[in-house]
Structure 1
Amino acid sequence: MTADPEDHRNPYVARERILRTAYELFSRRGIRAVGVDEVIERSSVAKATLYRHFRTKNDLVIAFLERRQQVWTRDMVRDESERRGSTPDEQLLAMFDVLDEWIHSDDFDRCTFINVLLEMGPDHPVSRAAIDCLEELRGIVKERAEKAGLHRTEEFALSWHILMKGSIIAAYEGDGEAARRAKIMAADLIEQHRTPDGPERVPAGSKAGGS
């Protein structure tokens, strides 16, 4: 493809085209399987244009993760579940309704943040960005748990996130009912955290990894 001659005069347009192309390729095929040259060709920009906006592939991947955070975590999971529930409890459980619809849509592509961690390893620079994205989701859950008056909200958010991640992986394995099964367990989890006494705590010193 021929590079767009408007690249210099429309830097925002060129950057957005690169990012949209990278978003589609990375979310569908992963990070390692997609090279910069393919992004350049598919987005119809000059190589110099891409490197003017993204100095390295890592920079491009981090920008992709930031876009994914907005599209998936905030616009879809957070905002849509908030619209569907009138109370914090309902908004928490609605997260699994949103996941269920996503799982059954043409846009289902597993969890990008988990994929990055598995592909790149936890010590890679882009993995740190993926972990930060996952921590934001747990923060949303924790905030809703606090508004619902639940106890041990940090533990609650970690357990809740396990149910969310597990339902996504199970769905990718072929369990189309995974999010609905997880929602039932999530309702039980809410009840367990309504009182100060509840499920056994994780031993002191244990670390919760991001996914």
Structure 2
Amino acid sequence: MISDGEATLPPAESIAAAAIRPADSRERILAVAYQLFSRRGVRDVGVNELIERSGVAKATFYRHFPSKDSLVLAFLELRDQLWTVDAIVGQAKQRASKPTEQLLAIFDVFGEWFRRDDFEACSFINILLEMGPSHPLGLASIDYLARIRGHVQALAEQAGLDRPEDFARSWHILMKGSIVSASEGDTQSASRAQEMAGWLIQHHSR
């Protein structure tokens, strides 16, 4: 797992702030939405609260986002870029050179994330469960979860693992399961998943 001196994950708020220009009203709304949706989900956050905390007029809000769902979709897109691509996959690739090591490093990143006081679990899983798989936001969450599997599958292909798509689906079960276990309070779930992940790599090695 993680050793002292390795790169650390920044808090969710600072990740968003680094990529968003707060002077822009649309980006300010999106920055507030990022903080609220990632922590509280969709239904608990109302449009009036979003408007008030963003410091914009109602007309300005609806000019940028015609509906709350359109804002959630923008949040999911931003979450995918900042969290999945930059923070999780990006840092895993920085921590190792070989594809199999990069795959295992995902759980090193997870282990650090799980021990943080601001651990907020996976927004894609949360919104999928909150809204359901037939709701447009649930469908969008399913799509972003599939993108995560795509990153894993690409690394599996680079590593020359057998049946990379099946591997990615099994690996994703370990990722999602460790997140749920961490939400239950098991801060060691990443290391447990990492051990099983090593077995999975061996099983798919040619």
TM-score range, shorter chain: 0.7 to 0.9
1:106 positional shift: 3.0
1:107 positional shift: 3.1
SS at match of 1:109: coil
CA-to-aligned-CA distance 1:85-139 (integer Å, 9 cap, x gap): 1100100000000011111123310110000011000000111111111111100
Structure 2 residue 23 is matched with structure 1 residue 23: no
SS at match of 1:33: coil
Structure 2 residue 135 is matched with structure 1 residue 124: yes
From the CA coordinates, give the structure whose radius of gyration is larger: 1
Cα RMSD for the two superposed structures: 1.4
Q: How many residues align?
A: 186
- AA of the residue aligned to 2:123: T
1:170 positional shift: 0.2
TM-score with structure 1 setting the length = 0.86
Structure 2 residue 59 is matched with structure 1 residue 48: yes
TM-score with structure 2 setting the length = 0.88
CA-to-aligned-CA distance 1:142-178 (integer Å, 9 cap, x gap): 0100111100111100000000000000011011100
Structure 2 residue 87 is matched with structure 1 residue 80: no
Bigger proportion of residues as helix: 2
Quick one: percent identity of the two aligned structures?
A: 59
Instruction: Single out whichever of 32-41 and 106-115 deviates more from structure 2.
Output: 106-115
Structure 2 residue 111 is matched with structure 1 residue 100: yes
Long gaps (5+) in structure 1 = 1-9, 196-211
Question: What is the match of residue 164 of structure 1?
Answer: 175
1:71 positional shift: 1.3
- CA distance 1:44–1:142, change in 2 (3 Å): same
Structure 1 segments of 4+ aligned residues over 2 angstroms from their partners: none
Long gaps (5+) in structure 2 = 1-20
SS at match of 2:162: coil
Question: What is the match of residue 198 of structure 2?
Answer: 187
For residues 21 and 94 of structure 1, what CA distance do their matches in structure 2 show? 30
